[in-house]
Structure 1
């Protein structure tokens, strides 16, 4: 087991290892305002031994929100809050990218003053989001309603929101940004035919369905530089009404465009539940053919499975999610075969320091 713990280079920065902390929603932003806070700064600083930290998903606008207590990166107060987080990570010799998020239809009118949620098309789907209403004692999962279809000009505005959020992230001290293009959120909704039945320039053909993702990649790269931009894609995740027979064509088309722009990395979000489908090796081969820059993989990886992908050159960096929550010093534990602390699932979303700052080692 050597490659996983070797130094590497990303966005011109030296990574101390190839163990990446995956983005994980923890729902601890201060209210009102969805503002990053001192508690979040300490949480991320504790885990700066990762080769790189990708922040939790961060909404680019009020419209982009879909879960309670998730942070934003569109207001001056939020930018100032994120500065505390990046300062803490950098003080511990860490590197961090901000994951930029618009959830699209994965939301609820509760977060939007009663207004309807938005998506590529007005299509019913079966999914839920986590909500904690004011005055209640705990959060709960609630059904997502049918969204309204975005107008073409609104789509142009969202692309501008992504570019502004990228600029804000750099101002806040992040080393780069990751565009969340997977897991059934807005960009993914445009890529797939069950959620995108538009007849304008953003729907129908493969070229049209990938246009939104490509225009966001171009806008953010123009704003902060392609070497500071990555994108998360989820080719084999089909829940949230995203089962589409043309997904791989869309993913590989976007990946090819990423190479044309010289985008820094692609982050593959893979299924992480027990008995999840394996990613076919042929897809990894095809992805590497069209994209030569860095590839990050995430999906219930062990260090052995991660090492195997590094050896085959199917990936350059391996992201770990929940093990990082309960094991702040995860790279050290993995490298030295130390036992991992289990996490408390009841403290994953919302709450205080319990299950957030009190894990040791």
Structure 2
């Protein structure tokens, strides 16, 4: 486990440990406008003990939004809100990347500009329900609608949305960005054969289905420099109705092609996680797919999915990965690295407060020092629900 607490050089950045805070959607941005606030800044600053924080998924345009109350990074007000967050994290001694997000078909006209249809590689609706706010601002679950298939002429516009988000992330003071190409969102929809039935240059063979992702990565690297850009993938992921006919070939190809960019990292969500639950029976193809990715990708690899301290140490020691991302453990344990270091018990998160609301279940989980009475308990006063 000691490997978790060694320094790591990530591009131009020195990480104080190998523990990454995974992106975690919390739906607590200020309304109207999907703007980060002081409450969000304190939440992230509490978790600055991670070697690197990856922000919650952050929509690069209104078209890219898929859930109520999630933050954006496409307006001046949102950039100003994120400046509060990055300044707080840096003051606490942390590093933070922004995760750039376009949800594609996983949206609803209620969230789209002028009530338009969501967009996707093909006009195939996902199963499940969209999370929106009704006219009174109350949360509501409604069926997804069939999306509009994107015209090939729109691809450069999509790439420019990512460029706009990347430039705004710079203005907001982030240390880098992660391109979200996982979990059934837009770029993942282009990658997977079940959601991409195009017959043009962006569909069909894996080389074509990977085209948009590679164009986005190239453009974002042009803004940031490759050493401050990461990519997140979820091979074999089924969340948001995903699937591919030959995932080993697909993700092996993507991993190989990403080498050309000399990225900060590739971040892989292992297929033990489906939405908000750990699956009891992981896909039997997982071992072969992850082995192929590790063999094909020559840069820094982050893995995420059901890790505890022992499993993380074994993954690092065995060369399975270079960095380990923890998700839900960070929700209830702002000092997770310290708890892992000393082998302390973890606070359990409350699923009822995962999404939306105010400081309860967000800012009020105690650190070890607070539980021991060495520091005051979290003060959540002055914060109102988003």
Structure 2 contact 105–126 (Cα < 8 Å) conserved: no
Verify: 1:277 aligned to 2:282, yes or no: yes
Verify: 1:153 aligned to 2:173, yes or no: no
Q: What residue number does 1:25 align with?
A: 25
The SS at the match of 1:53 is strand
Structure 1 contact 23–56 (Cα < 8 Å) conserved: yes
Aligned length: 360
Verify: 1:353 aligned to 2:354, yes or no: no
Q: What residue number does 2:326 align with?
A: 320
Structure 1 contact 125–240 (Cα < 8 Å) conserved: yes
Pick from 314, 317, 328: which aligns with 1:308?
314
Structure 1 contact 117–148 (Cα < 8 Å) conserved: yes
Q: CA RMSD in A?
A: 1.4
How far does residue 276 in structure 1 lie from its aligned partner after superposition?
Answer: 4.1
| Partner Cα separation in structure 2 for residue 56 and residue 231 of structure 1 | 14
Q: What residue number does 1:224 align with?
A: 224
Q: 1:297 to 1:140 in 2, by over 3 A?
A: farther
Structure 2 contact 73–165 (Cα < 8 Å) conserved: yes
Structure 1 contact 182–234 (Cα < 8 Å) conserved: yes
How far does residue 346 in structure 1 lie from its aligned partner after superposition?
Answer: 0.9
Structure 1 contact 181–187 (Cα < 8 Å) conserved: yes
How far does residue 322 in structure 1 lie from its aligned partner after superposition?
Answer: 1.1
How far does residue 136 in structure 1 lie from its aligned partner after superposition?
Answer: 5.1
Structure 1 contact 238–244 (Cα < 8 Å) conserved: no
Give the TM-score, by structure 2 length.
0.90
Structure 2 contact 106–126 (Cα < 8 Å) conserved: no
Give the TM-score, by structure 1 length.
0.96
Verify: 1:286 aligned to 2:287, yes or no: no
| Partner Cα separation in structure 1 for residue 281 and residue 54 of structure 2 | 24
Structure 1 contact 296–316 (Cα < 8 Å) conserved: yes
| Partner Cα separation in structure 2 for residue 244 and residue 281 of structure 1 | 16
Q: Post-superposition, which runs of at least 4 consecutive aligned residues in structure 1 deviate over 6 A?
A: none
How far does residue 289 in structure 1 lie from its aligned partner after superposition?
Answer: 2.1
How far does residue 4 in structure 1 lie from its aligned partner after superposition?
Answer: 1.0
Verify: 1:259 aligned to 2:264, yes or no: no
- What are the superposed Cα offsets for residues 201-252 of structure 1, whole Å, 9 maximum, x if unpaired? 1111211111011100111011211111100000021232212112332222
